[in-house]
Structure 1
Amino acid sequence: MKVIVCGAGQVGTTIARHLSSEGMDVTVVDLDEEQVRRVDEGYDVRGVVGHGSHPGTLAGAGARDADLLIAVTRSDEVNMVACQVAYSLFGVKRRIARLRHAGYLAQDRRGLYAAEHLPIDVIISPELQVAEGIGHRLRTPGAFDMAPMAGNRVKLLGIHVDTAGCAVVGQTVASLNASGAQRAMSIVALVRAGRCFVPTSDDRLELGDDVYVIARTDQVATVMAAFGHKEKVARSVVIVGGGNVGIHLADNLRKTSRGMTIRIIEQDRARAEVIARELGDGVIVLQGDALDRDLLSEARIGAAETIVAVTNDDETNIFVSVLAKQAGCKRAITLVNKRSYEALIPTLGIDAVVSPSAVTISTVLRHVRRGTISALHTLREDFGEVIEAEVTDQSRLLSGPLGHVGLPPGMRIGAVVRDGEAFIPDDETRLQQGDQIIALVTYSYLKYAEALLGGGGRAR
């Protein structure tokens, strides 16, 4: 498969690296010569310097033979035109574009992006997806990560083991997976001392671990309680940053969480006035610098249950989260773009980190995986992902019980959906054609896992 990636920023570079590691022929296009040089020298990809929407640049990148174009530059307009040129002049089969502006996104419902108008097959909207992901976290307090899967029949939960004396500390993974009502959960990954790994059945949980769990949706409260988390859903939220993420989140919470007090802090006066008009009486908008302690006090940050820091500046998000926690705010959800801050976050008391690039990468990869894979959620960009896939008649997973089909050490099947019902499998479970599986797969075993799944070539 031949892929052109327009944009050599963090998202484009990471996508290119992932696809190249899977044996695809990848070319990255960017105006920044230094960025292109780093990509060209650092990964097994080809770099081309030029404007991503210019016909000559795309021709030089091999668009005549390309199967897929992924446009993730910083400009919506460049991304849209790149898709148009790729389709009209070179016949590129599939086109994916990242769009941020709400005005462009609103036109999707009116058919603007159909082939006869502006041919974009998949639109990625990081701000909308980040806001949705934060909403999921707010509805599952105590989890630092949460993603509904299989039509919300199961949930992927990231849980801190941070309560001394809670029931799970010292227990083996095998005993925890086997316990609970009707096998409520499956532990698929552990993060310990900064290292992420797939645990064996004999590994014991330790205080300070971060655990990734796949749980039946009807058992989430039971699972969270077992880990010592009995937090209530927040009724008072302060959102710092009135950009696209902040306004989408506030609007979603206003519509879905009755009785919740929502305050937004926005530094730009004109933007604050726009937000106040758009959101109306259901949201309190405060204008000023969120790092000003007096303004935080006016926002009643000490009484708030959650602060959500989603400005365009990582440092502002981190510092305002720390100030809020010091003032008595119970929980901080913080948007961070730079991976270099990843190791620092746990030491600051921040409860959950949201990465826009990880959200975008998950969405892109979902559309270039094998045809049987319908969804995925990235767990740390260098570790692996949780996938949702259908078991076809070609799958080697049908050859016997799960304990005997040769699952690699980097793959864990955490849940199965059969006839609309979800259950947690064990080594004696036999899969059936048509089952949906939710599984963790590390990147080092991704090809092996795809071979086990079978089901033909790449996604449409």
Structure 2
Amino acid sequence: MLKAKKPGRQGLNIIIVGCGKVGSTLIEQLSKEGHDITIIDKNAQKVQEIANLYDIMGVVGNGASYSVQMEGGIENADLIIAVTNSDELNLLCCTIAKQVANCAAIARVRTPDYISEISYLRERLGLAMIINPEYEASKEAARILYLPTALEVNSFAHGQAELIKFKVPNGNTLHDMTIAHLGKNITSDILICAIERDGQVYIPSGNFLIKSGDIISFVSTRKDGKHFLEKIGFKTHQVKDTMIIGGGKAAYYLAKQLLNMGISVKIIENDRKRCEELSILLPKAIIINGDGTDTELLKEEGIEYAESFVALTGIDEENILLTLHARQVSNAKVITKINRITFHDVISNLDLGSVVYPRYITSEAIIAYVRAKQNSMGSNIETLYHMFDHRVEAIEFRVDEESKVTNIPLMNLSLKKDLLISFINRSGSIIIPSGQDCIQVGDTVMIVTTHTGFNDILDILE
């Protein structure tokens, strides 16, 4: 069953092995972007449902089997993405595909044993990417606890620049201030990229009037971001301690990073055997064997005085209830991990503080790679991040050659509406651009836009 490219379509032929949470998210996103997708999974009912829903090809069977991959059209594939529940199976799928076809391969690998060997594995097996959702989610949570006034902190330019999201509180100095006034009088070292108000998202111009209750995303270096938040009256010191409920992989990765940052960690986990493992893996953390949903136990362990509280159980509903409870009984900075729930409106109305979605982190990294692979022009996507429920995209492009956007002052470029050039990274130094700045070959450039599907830096032009 070989598939030829559909006429007139520039999409890639992609095989996705595994239709769990990440697989389904990828199928939804990549089919929207016009790629030809074949799914492989052992569960015939799942394959049938997803294939019908997205009008794509489905093959029932073991994705690591040579004959099943052949049936799925591996010889014509541009990319195979293995996201089953087994790390070893994912690596095997990719290894077999690489032997048979000239395609790129991406594997999801979650086990901590492999984390230190990722670059070795990637190189030896010739993979385009190995992605670890729990590790990526824990990095996002650690960045938030480093700057607890933020709702979200995302990293660009290899950590040199950050996209920081916060809510303007009542009575804050920013209320009724224009963005131009902020730039002149408070700081010009940050750039406000997007503002959400009453469910509407705006890419603001200089005369946009900020109101309390607005959710603002801005870009800056970590130091300048902290300085700006201090200036407008936010506390910006990192938390001193954290209470984590659930002792899974994400909890292990997060605890390890927090302990390295000098933050004390307490983990509450139900499974006695896992507690013993964690106490060996994390000798500096306090590990409590108990039911994290027991309010008496939480009180005993000091939830009322905790500076931060992270709900990382495997059950979304439990995480949500734990966060709501922590909000009631303490002033802790709360982070909630949500894996599968799609009730976005309900979740955003619950005021859960910072919400981390491992499957979106995974799918964004993969979609960034797919878009970069699809594009053979003079720039490449380094980082892609969806904001405000996928209504806004922040994309970092690497500029590899001269084009219509290079060496021309930004004010003279005819840019699409609803688009901002938010920073230029030139040899590791971050420029918050003015109209006089130019994009040069070798730069990476981050744009924020309500348009979707940009593959190349030239897409910013009208």
Q: Structures share a fold, TM > 0.5?
A: yes
CA shift for structure 1 position 73: 1.7
> Are positions 1:173 and 2:179 aligned together?
yes
Q: Percent identity?
A: 29
Asked whether the equivalents of residues 122 and 129 of structure 2 are also in contact (C-alpha less than 8 Å), the reply is no
Q: Could you tell which deviates more after superposition, 233-242 or 25-34? A: 25-34
> Are positions 1:205 and 2:215 aligned together?
no
Q: Name the SS for the 2:15 alignment partner.
A: strand
CA shift for structure 1 position 333: 0.6
Q: Name the SS for the 2:397 alignment partner.
A: strand
Task: Give the equivalent residue in structure 2 for 1:95.
Answer: 105
Residues 338/149 of structure 1: CA separation in 2 closer, same or farther (3 Å cut): same
Asked whether the equivalents of residues 304 and 330 of structure 2 are also in contact (C-alpha less than 8 Å), the reply is yes
Asked whether the equivalents of residues 190 and 220 of structure 2 are also in contact (C-alpha less than 8 Å), the reply is yes
Residues 312/195 of structure 1: CA separation in 2 closer, same or farther (3 Å cut): farther
The TM-score with structure 2 as length reference comes to 0.88
CA shift for structure 1 position 9: 2.6
1:318-333 matches, cutoff 5 A:
318-333=320-335
Query: Which of 378, 387, 393 is the equivalent residue of 2:395?
Result: 387
Task: Tell me, in whole angstroms, the C-alpha distance in 1 between the residues paired with 2:184 and 2:423.
Answer: 13
Q: Describe the superposition over 1:118-139 as per-residue Cα deviations: whole angstroms up to 9, x where unpaired.
A: 4533211111111111111111
Task: Give the equivalent residue in structure 2 for 1:424.
Answer: 432
Task: Tell me, in whole angstroms, the C-alpha distance in 1 between the residues paired with 2:387 and 2:200.
Answer: 12
> Are positions 1:238 and 2:238 aligned together?
no
1:299-314 matches, cutoff 5 A:
299-314=301-316
Q: Partner amino acid for 2:192?
A: I
Residues 23/452 of structure 1: CA separation in 2 closer, same or farther (3 Å cut): same
Q: Name the SS for the 2:195 alignment partner.
A: strand
CA shift for structure 1 position 106: 4.3
> Are positions 1:63 and 2:65 aligned together?
no
Task: Give the equivalent residue in structure 1 for 2:274.
Answer: 271
Equivalenced residue count is 444
Task: Tell me, in whole angstroms, the C-alpha distance in 1 between the residues paired with 2:37 and 2:393.
Answer: 21
> Are positions 1:373 and 2:378 aligned together?
no
Residues 9/227 of structure 1: CA separation in 2 closer, same or farther (3 Å cut): farther
Q: Partner amino acid for 1:156?
A: L
Q: Partner amino acid for 2:401?
A: D
CA shift for structure 1 position 425: 1.2
Query: Which of 148, 153, 164 is the equivalent residue of 1:157?
Result: 164
Structure 1 stretches of at least 4 aligned residues deviating more than 4 Å after TM superposition? 112-115, 447-450
Q: Name the SS for the 1:143 alignment partner.
A: coil
The TM-score with structure 1 as length reference comes to 0.89
Query: Which of 37, 46, 56 is the equivalent residue of 2:57?
Result: 46
CA shift for structure 1 position 228: 4.0
Task: Tell me, in whole angstroms, the C-alpha distance in 2 between the residues paired with 1:394 and 1:406.
Answer: 17
Asked whether the equivalents of residues 441 and 449 of structure 1 are also in contact (C-alpha less than 8 Å), the reply is no
Query: Which of 12, 19, 23 is the equivalent residue of 2:30?
Result: 19
Task: Tell me, in whole angstroms, the C-alpha distance in 1 between the residues paired with 2:83 and 2:53.
Answer: 19
Asked whether the equivalents of residues 372 and 389 of structure 1 are also in contact (C-alpha less than 8 Å), the reply is yes
Q: Name the SS for the 2:158 alignment partner.
A: coil
CA shift for structure 1 position 380: 4.7
Task: Give the equivalent residue in structure 2 for 1:131.
Answer: 138
- Gaps of at least 5 residues in structure 2 are 1-11, 373-378
Task: Give the equivalent residue in structure 2 for 1:291.
Answer: 293
Q: Name the SS for the 2:323 alignment partner.
A: helix
Q: Partner amino acid for 1:391?
A: V
Query: Which of 416, 420, 436 is the equivalent residue of 1:408?
Result: 416
CA shift for structure 1 position 405: 1.6
- Gaps of at least 5 residues in structure 1 are 454-460
Task: Tell me, in whole angstroms, the C-alpha distance in 2 between the residues paired with 1:418 and 1:269.
Answer: 51
Task: Tell me, in whole angstroms, the C-alpha distance in 2 between the residues paired with 1:376 and 1:444.
Answer: 11
Asked whether the equivalents of residues 216 and 423 of structure 1 are also in contact (C-alpha less than 8 Å), the reply is no
> Are positions 1:229 and 2:234 aligned together?
yes
Task: Tell me, in whole angstroms, the C-alpha distance in 2 between the residues paired with 1:413 and 1:44.
Answer: 36
Task: Give the equivalent residue in structure 2 for 1:220.
Answer: 225
Asked whether the equivalents of residues 386 and 394 of structure 2 are also in contact (C-alpha less than 8 Å), the reply is yes
Asked whether the equivalents of residues 17 and 84 of structure 2 are also in contact (C-alpha less than 8 Å), the reply is yes
Query: Which of 406, 428, 433 is the equivalent residue of 2:441?
Result: 433
1:190-201 matches, cutoff 5 A:
190-201=195-206
Task: Tell me, in whole angstroms, the C-alpha distance in 1 between the residues paired with 2:35 and 2:117.
Answer: 33
Asked whether the equivalents of residues 258 and 264 of structure 2 are also in contact (C-alpha less than 8 Å), the reply is no
